[in-house]
Amino acid sequence: MVVGKIAKISGPVVVADGMKGSKMYEVVRVGEEKLTGEIIQLRGDRAVIQVYEETTGIKPGEPVEGTGTPLSVELGPGMLRAIYDGIQRPLTEIETKTGSIFIPRGVTVPALPRDVKWDFVPTVNEGDYVEGGDVIGTVKETKPIVHKILVPLGIKGKIKEIKSGKFTVEDTVAVVETEEGEEKEIKMMQKWPVRKPRPYREKLPPVIPLITGTRVIDTFFSLAKGGTAAIPGPFGSGKTVTQQQLAKWSDADVVVYIGCGERGNEMTEVIEEFPQLEDRRTGSKLIDRTILIANTSNMPVAAREASIYTGVTIAEYFRDMGYGVLLTADSTSRWAEAMREIAGRLEEMPGEEGYPAYLASRLAQFYERAGRVKCEGSGDKEGFVCIVGAVSPPGGDFSEPVTSNTLRIVKVFWALDANLARRRHFPAINWLQSYSLYIDDVTPWWQEHTGPDWRELRDEAMRLLQKEAQLQEIVQLVGPDALPDKERVILEVARMLREDFLQQDAFDEVDTYCPPMKQYMMLKIIMTFYRKALEVVEKGVEPQKILKVSVKRDIAKMKYIPEDKFLKEVAPAILEKIERELEALLENP
Amino acid sequence: MEALNKFVEYTSVSSIAGPLLIVEGVKGVAYGEIVEIITPTGERRTGQVLEISEDLAVVQVFEGTTGLSTDKTRVRFTGETPKIGVSMEMLGRIFDGKGRPIDGGPEIIPEKKMDIYGYPLNPVSRRTPEDFIQTGISAIDGPNTLVRGQKLPIFSGSGLPHNQLAVQIARQAKVRKEGEQFAVVFAAMGITSEEANFFMEEFRKTGALEKAVVFINRADDPAIERILTPRIALTTAEYLAFEKDMHVLVILTDMTNYCEALREISAARNEIPGRRGYPAYMYTDLATIYERAGRVKGKKGTITQLPILTMPHDDITHPIPDLTGYITEGQIVLSRELHRKGIYPPIDILPSLSRLASKGQGKGKTREDHPKVMSQVYAAYAEGRNLRDLVAVVGEEALTERDRAYLKFADEFERRFVNQGKDEERSIEETLDLAWELLTILPREELKRIPEELIEKYLPKK
Ligand SMILES: Nc1ncnc2c1ncn2[C@@H]1O[C@H](COP(=O)(O)OP(=O)(O)OP(=O)(O)O)[C@@H](O)[C@H]1O
Ligand SMILES: Nc1ncnc2c1ncn2[C@@H]1O[C@H](COP(=O)(O)OP(=O)(O)OP(=O)(O)O)[C@@H](O)[C@H]1O
Ligand SMILES: [Mg+2]
Ligand SMILES: [Mg+2]
């Protein structure tokens, strides 16, 4: 292995000489304390290294050792329920090993436990022909998730030997004889370099919506399975709460939650809450299908840069088993800033606002790793990775480089709005600014699973909200009395849409998750009210009277009623009451 | 070599720029180590290595470089990272921004030495903060409830009474549990002598000093020293909380001065700046301060942070409040308008937020009606404020009965709920009762955010 010498230290960036023979992105051990670092630039025999641990106390002249391997993750049973730092060091094991509440440096603990024996159940027989990506056996890792053991990519041949029983991740569970007659031992653990996307057979169209249970998302700005979304917003506008809601309730099999340069307490919240919360679909606990990556704002900045890659590689690996994976990254701005900080120390020519010129391409490469795919292997496994990235624009200004470059890539934009948050309108997703480019793709799904008029209802509601914004401008100037009756109805119904449909409290026991059919019925009821109200107003009823009907209160309470009861009893009653109460106004216009 | 290096004095300062020295021909120097600088007149100063290459060290000098020359300055590398000696004797004492006593008392005999940069808390070791801290201030305890282990900054403006508010909180803050130990760690950065005297006087007069450790870096103290002050304070706090089981409230004022010092160093190094000239790493740097708060597994003590900053030009989008808001768990915003109206404390509850409020409110913590009544009060005040803007345009005549009630509510809310005496300490029950009383101003059917049972039970009958 290459051994060089430190020439210069500046924060997380170390320059080493005598590194001839090293490779880009190779992992190196820096200094006497053997801190983990990665080569990010090579010039002659001089390497620039980003170090994943605090560098205080390191001196020029200390050794730098190459490892010959690029920064990689360990993939295999033991990842679910784990909490890792940005370079996949298991934080719970670090706590146990050090007995400290702090993370000291220089600790090495393997990502996957080496002593746990997993129950390996083979799914192939001797003599079967297998190739990279094929499943050769399974391990029931947690209650809802069966970990499929995949033939590492690049291996192809006949199963010469297959075992069954309890093994550690380093034990051989199968032997494959390749066409060249070579014997390859297969273990439950494999490694993959994080900066290299894992391949797939083909990308599939994003036609199935990811159901998140958040109405403004599902009904108005839908994310497709395999799709990409960005959620930019100023501080306190709801990025983290929204992402946690998605992680809790969306219909993905596996969730990779990356806390990238954000608060320690927010990770703690997930760690404490997810083991308690029940997964609606499987009846087990949410933590059983979750992997957490926590590189909080006070942890080393270079590991923050790596955390995004670590997370997405793990997500792809579960995708390759045929699972649907949701990856949330909070916040991609901190990731971009980590890049900027490192680039600044390299004295690279900066681009916009000091960000490196490659910011846009890095962002694109990251989101490009999302997708619904036909997986590698000979079977017909399909899986997906959805990526949802929070963006934290300075001063809430969406024109800054990270937000604007992200918006050029992602297909869904949930624009968080400080004004809405300040009015405690949550989720504070601005309905005039946000968009989803998947709406047409997912419309057939909604029509099939809710009602044929789903799209009309949605579009009409959207038009009302847009119209409301125009009318509000007029009202600001001349007061509401100046508006024609019909437009006063629009204002009233738009308010209903905002308060009774769009607003959804993440902390309400029932309303925290709203199933698709309930969303549809709620919307249908409000739009029925709208049409009926228009009808009677056209027949001469004063708009003020409409404000007073008692069914309005029933509509306001819809969100707090559990789906079953709502669909069976409440919704039909409300529809009937709208008809009855508004009709009654005609008798006495 | 290391041991030897301690005795080597370098006279090879090749250049001086702002607070930085460049020393050439050095050997065996570590990144981040502490440097002793002897000025041409024999005065000793302290510095730290910011960058080191084979034989060239960039050193920041905490006391500044005034009076240093390239030819007569001597530099010694100590081989140590910055540490502070801590002990229980620090309680009741006043120190300068570098941790030296300035109260005329004896030197501290340290129980141990701790690295002032500390280590990141393992997220796995944290516990979600949840114990209500009663500050006795209605506008905080009611809508913006503070909990133990939280970091909740005060966003102020120049000339607003944030210092007054800070000492009032320091004096009044309590958790309503028996037999727990408290301490206040107070760190002032770049405050005027007048302010410093105010703080010391207040602490002494009210007896708060006994359970406090005070660090003061004055406006005329070296700016670069401010880089150390909050870290020394937080190291002391970690010692008291995690080794001595105390509940520690850390007040850091004024973080704006800290950030200015950071910018000064960055400019001297010719770094590529981020927004408005502040260093690109300011978010990370501030996070290494603000994240040193919390509640952790297996430790009785906690650290709660109340940083104070003045927003340049009252602009909340300025990088200092902006980056702070992105790290802390909410913010208390002071308003110049309320201050002008004579309201103390001039807390504007609309842009204020405690993100952990719900963890400390409600049954078993404060009172069952707390979250709901506050949600109603918030909504009503917001509506009243909206209407105030509208009245400015269309005139009061255009308003309905209902609207007038909201306007009245907003006024009374400011005058009676937000406003309170500088020594007035309200229990949470008093705060909540006051909220209910104000709600009687509104027509009862407007109280949509409160369940009927609670209205029955708590709303005073007119
Ligand atoms: N859907 C929601 N339902 C109820 N409350 C919400 C919702 N979204 C946000 N909030 C409220 O807003 C506060 C701030 O939200 P959050 O922490 O998600 O903001 P953020 O955008 O992540 O901010 P930062 O950039 O500082 O991390 C929460 O503490 C909560 O009180
Ligand atoms: N982010 C936004 N996206 C879309 N429309 C917005 C947004 N912010 C404000 N509006 C417009 O402003 C209006 C909301 O302002 P308003 O202060 O009236 O809300 P409110 O107090 O909740 O409602 P009301 O005044 O009817 O009680 C909406 O009707 C909408 O048209
Ligand atoms: Mg957040
Ligand atoms: Mg309004």
Atom number of ligand 2 nearest to Cα B386: 17
A79 to each of A125, A291, A366, B291, how far by Cα in Å? Answer: 27, 7, 21, 27
Give the model confidence (pLDDT) of B333-349 as tens digits. 999 999 999 999 999 99
Strand partners, B188: B216, B253
Q: Which fold has domain B9-77?
A: Elongation Factor Tu (Ef-tu); domain 3 (2.40.30)
Question: What DSSP character marks residue A222?
Answer: P
Residues A270, A319: one domain? Answer: yes
**A314 and A420 in one domain?**
yes
Report DSSP state, residue A499. I
Which backbone phi and psi does A74 adopt, to 5 degrees?
-90, 130
Q: Which residues contact ligand 1 via a Cβ below 6 A?
A: A 233, 235-241, 392, 426-427, 505-507; B 326, 355
**Quick check: B416 contacting A, CB < 8 Å?**
no
Question: Residue B1: which pLDDT band, with cuts at 50, 70 and 90?
Answer: very low
Q: Number of folded domains in chain A?
A: 4
A102 interaction partners in chain B (CB closer than 8 Å)? 118-122, 125
Same-domain pairing of A432 and A478 = no
Q: Closest by alpha carbon to B151, among B323, B362, B351, B331? A: B331
Q: Give the CATH number for residue A324.
A: 3.40.50.300
* Domain CATH number, residue A9: 2.40.30.20
- Nearest-angstrom CA–CA distance, B213 and B236: 8
pLDDT digits (tens, 9 = 90+) for B241-275: 999 999 999 999 999 999 999 998 888 888 888 88
Residues linked to residue A232 through DSSP beta bridges, in sequence order: A391
Q: Which residues of A touch B309 (CB under 8 A)?
A: none
- Candidate from A426, A430, A433, A483 with most ligand 2 atoms within 8 A of CB, to mutate: A430
Give the percent of chain B with pLDDT over 90: 71
Question: B144-155: per-residue pLDDT in tens?
Answer: 999 999 999 999
A140 touches A152 (CB < 8 A): no
Residue B355 to residue A56, Cβ atoms within 8 A = no
CA of A480 relative to ligand 2 center, distance in Å: 14
A209 and A280 inside one domain: yes
Q: Are A302 and A393 contained in the same domain?
A: yes
Counting from 1 in the atom list of ligand 2, the atom nearest the Cα of B383 is: 21
Contacts of A61 in chain B (CB under 8 A): 28, 54
Of A212, A227, A277, the residue nearest A504 (C-alpha): A212
Residue A243 lies in a domain: yes
Is A383 within 8 Å of A397 (Cβ atoms)? no
Residues A423 and A466 in one domain: no
Q: What is the DSSP string of B404-445?
A: HHHHHHHHHIIIIII---TT----HHHHHHHHHHHHTTS-GG
> What was the pLDDT predicted at B206?
80
The residue type found at A242 is T
pLDDT reported for residue A589: 57
Task: Give the CA angle between residues A393, A394, A399 to the nearest 5°.
Answer: 60
- Could you tell me the residue range of the domain that residue A25 belongs to? 3-70
Q: Which residues of A are annotated as a binding site for ATP?
A: 233-240
Q: pLDDT for A424-443, tens place per residue?
A: 899 999 999 999 999 999 99
Domain endpoint, select from A438, A471, A504 = A438
User: What integer pLDDT is reported at residue B4 of this predicted model?
Assistant: 55
Q: Which residue has the tokens 């045929």?
A: A322
What is the enclosing helix (H) or strand (E) of A166? strand A165-167
Whether A420 and A457 map to the same domain: the answer is no
A92 in a domain, yes or no? no
How far is CA A275 from each of CA A146, A291, A311, A363, B250, rounded to the nearest angstrom? Answer: 18, 12, 20, 32, 32
Same domain, A278 and A338: yes
pLDDT at A379: 84
| Rounded (to 5) percent helix, strand, coil in chain A | 35, 25, 40
Exposed, middle or buried by CB within 10 Å (0-12, 13-18, 19+), for B44? Answer: exposed
Q: Do A8 and B52 touch (CB under 8 A)?
A: yes
Same domain, A373 and A334: yes
**Do residue A223 and residue A258 come from a single domain?**
yes
In chain A, residues 419-448 whose CB comes closer than 8 Å to chain B: 422-424
B83-358, which class in CATH? alpha beta
Q: Is A194 part of a structural domain of the chain? A: no
Phi, psi angles (nearest 5°) of residue A582 = -75, -40
Judged by DSSP in three states, B57 sits in strand
Please provide residue A117's backbone torsions phi and psi, each rounded to the nearest 5 degrees. Answer: -100, 125
SS3 category, B28: coil
Closest CA to B34 of B44, B22, B47, B23: B47
- The backbone torsions φ and ψ at residue B98, rounded to the nearest 5 degrees and listed phi first, read -110, 5
Q: Does A406 share its domain with A550?
A: no
CA distance B312 to B306: 19
Chain B: give the shortest CA distance to residue A285, in Å.
19
Distance between CA B55 and CA B34 in Å, rounded? 17
> Which residues of chain A have a pLDDT value below 70?
589
pLDDT class of B2 with cuts at 50, 70, 90: very low
- What CATH number is associated with residue A139? 2.40.50.100
CB contact, 8 Å: B198 with chain A?
no
- Enumerate the domain spans of chain B: 9-77, 83-358, 369-458
Buried/exposed code over A356-385 (b: 16+ C-beta within 10 A; e: otherwise): beebbebbeebbebbbbbbbbbeeebbbbb
> What is the CATH number for A559?
1.10.1140.10
Q: Which residues contact A195 (CB under 8 A, 6 or more apart)?
A: A25, A70, A71, A309
Lowest model confidence (mean pLDDT) among A3-7, A64-68, B21-25, B178-182: B178-182
Which of B343, B330, B326 has its CA nearest to residue B417?
B343
- The domain boundary, picked from A410, A438, A466, lies at A438
Residue B398 has pLDDT above 80, yes or no: no
Residue A9: list chain B partners with CB under 8 A. 31, 51-53
pLDDT at B418 exceeding the cut of 90: yes
Among the ranges given (A134-138, A327-331, B179-183, B368-372), the one the predictor scored with the smallest mean pLDDT: B179-183
Selected residue of B284, B297, B316 to mutate for chain A interface (largest A Cβ count, 10 A): B284
A118-122 and B56-61 strand pairing: unpaired
Residue A370 lies in a domain: yes
